[in-house]
Amino acid sequence: MSPENPFLNHEKKEQERQAKRDAVLLAAVKIFNEQGFHSTSLDDVAKSLGISKPTIYHYLGNKEQVLLTCVEIGLQQLIEAAKDVEKQSISGFEKLRRFLFLYGCRNLDDFGRCVILTHDDALSKEGLVKFKALKRVVHEALLNIIRDAQLDQSINAEHDPKILAATLTGAINWSAKWYNPNGVLSKEETIQKMVDILTYGFEKK
Amino acid sequence: MSPENPFLNHEKKEQERQAKRDAVLLAAVKIFNEQGFHSTSLDDVAKSLGISKPTIYHYLGNKEQVLLTCVEIGLQQLIEAAKDVEKQSISGFEKLRRFLFLYGCRNLDDFGRCVILTHDDALSKEGLVKFKALKRVVHEALLNIIRDAQLDQSINAEHDPKILAATLTGAINWSAKWYNPNGVLSKEETIQKMVDILTYGFEKK
């Protein structure tokens, strides 16, 4: 038998730690989304995993820190989506459509929904600063995509970028409140239909 | 001097009672919108008017009843807007645009914002039933406007009416969260720009 490699061992332990942390986050985000942050206690989360509350503290911290990690994951997904889209060699119009599609799909994931369903009053002052800073990164990325699309003249240049951004994201954000995962349409089908409406409007051509 | 007319007197008293009730509702809705329902006590509302809490109970009932009356006013405004629009002799497309404009403007009023900012967990089971029933009336009115506009072929018939309705109202609802009354654009200007985006899309034509 070969001697145990201490480096591999360390890596394995780190993977295990990460897997446990991820499991706590996934359990927490589902319960936050279902019951609301105020009505959820870390005991509920611990119980759902058959672990103790101190185990959660060990991996993630207190309830607000768990929530903050969840919304950070949700917002980081949107930041990644913007980066992916910006790299593509397509028109500004197509970039905007693709970003909205990805934004909408992430938005209906557990962590994305948590971002939408988290109200400012769930967070402490410091937590709110972090939450808003990340949201601002997403907002700025969207504004850049819109401005580029206006510059390459692939979208209508007369719209105020800020109002356009707020209209588009508002429509999609709200879907985290009404989308029914047990309905006929998949998340992707639903978001695609919304993006088509937002892109072309409802005017008859 | 003519003898006092007891009927006029009764009417005057009723007007006074109504004015007091309205003042309590307006004070309450502003504080709910600013602080959130959970963080507001009827003491805050009473204090802002220089009255006692039992006076509020007398006119409106407990905190949930006050909130319910506020959201009922907000939703009733939307139901009236739909009725007004339905009476007009214009195309279905124009009806939909006008309804969205009115919906958006009401939505940025004190009572309209309260509807958007009220989360289901603020209400008791019975309260939630009332709240949802009124929202359904608005939703059905919008669906009727959309279906009529598809029937008279003034809007694109390929959109699923439910997804179209959810996309349009979602975009507008969200504005109750981001609209800044101290900004450059008035409520009406902001909503008009949003309705134009929603109507025509952002595609370059």
Residue B203's SS3 state is strand
- Greatest mean pLDDT among A35-49, B11-25, B164-178: B164-178
Residues B199 and A197: beta-carbon distance below 8 Å: no
Q: What angle do CA A126, A128, A129 make, to 5 degrees?
A: 65
pLDDT at B10: 84
pLDDT at A121: 80
B121 CA: distance to closest CA in chain A (Å):
8
Which residues in chain B have Cβ-Cβ distances shorter than 8 Å to A159? 193, 196-197, 202
Compute φ and ψ for A36, nearest 5 degrees: 90, 150
Q: Report CB contact under 8 Å: A36, B121.
A: yes
Report the share of chain A in percent with pLDDT over 90.
Answer: 85
Residue B86's SS3 state is helix
Q: Is B194 on the interface with A (CB under 8 A)?
A: yes
Q: Is A164 on the interface with B (CB under 8 A)?
A: yes
What's the whole-number mean pLDDT along residues A12-25?
92
Could you tell me if the ipTM is greater than 0.85? Answer: yes
Instruction: Say if residue B124's pLDDT is above 80.
Output: yes
pLDDT bucket at B2, cuts 50 / 70 / 90: low
Report the share of chain B in percent with pLDDT over 70.
Answer: 97
Between these two residues, A67 and B13, which has the higher pLDDT value? Answer: A67
pLDDT at A2: 57
Instruction: Say if residue A71's pLDDT is above 90.
Output: yes
Which residues in chain B have Cβ-Cβ distances shorter than 8 Å to A185? 163
Helix and strand counts by DSSP (H, E) for chain A: 9, 0
Which residues in chain A have Cβ-Cβ distances shorter than 8 Å to B198? 167, 171, 197-198, 201-202
What's the whole-number mean pLDDT along residues A160-171?
97
What's the whole-number mean pLDDT along residues A32-60?
93
Instruction: Say if residue B104's pLDDT is above 80.
Output: yes
What is the tens place of the pLDDT at every residue in B188-200?
999 999 999 999 9
Spell out the long-range contacts of B188-194 with Cβ–Cβ below 8 A and sequence spacing 24 or more.
B188/B101, B188/B105, B190/A163, B190/B104, B190/B108, B191/B100, B191/B101, B191/B104, B191/B105, B191/B107, B191/B108, B192/B101, B193/A159, B193/A160, B193/A163, B194/A163, B194/A166, B194/A167, B194/B104
pLDDT at A9: 82
Q: Report CB contact under 8 Å: A173, B170.
A: yes
Nearest CA in chain B to A153: B204
Sketch out chain B's domains with CATH numbers.
Answer: 1-61 (1.10.10.60), 63-205 (1.10.357.10)
Instruction: Say if residue B88's pLDDT is above 70.
Output: yes
Residue window 140-159, chain B: list those with CB within 8 Å of chain A. Answer: 153-157, 159
Instruction: Say if residue A205's pLDDT is above 90.
Output: no
Instruction: Say if residue A161's pLDDT is above 70.
Output: yes
Q: Is A163 on the interface with B (CB under 8 A)?
A: yes
What is the tens place of the pLDDT at every residue in A79-128?
999 999 999 999 999 999 999 999 999 999 999 999 999 988 889 999 99
What's the whole-number mean pLDDT along residues A24-39?
93
What is the tens place of the pLDDT at every residue in B12-53?
888 999 999 999 999 999 999 998 888 899 999 999 999 999
Q: Report CB contact under 8 Å: A168, B168.
A: no
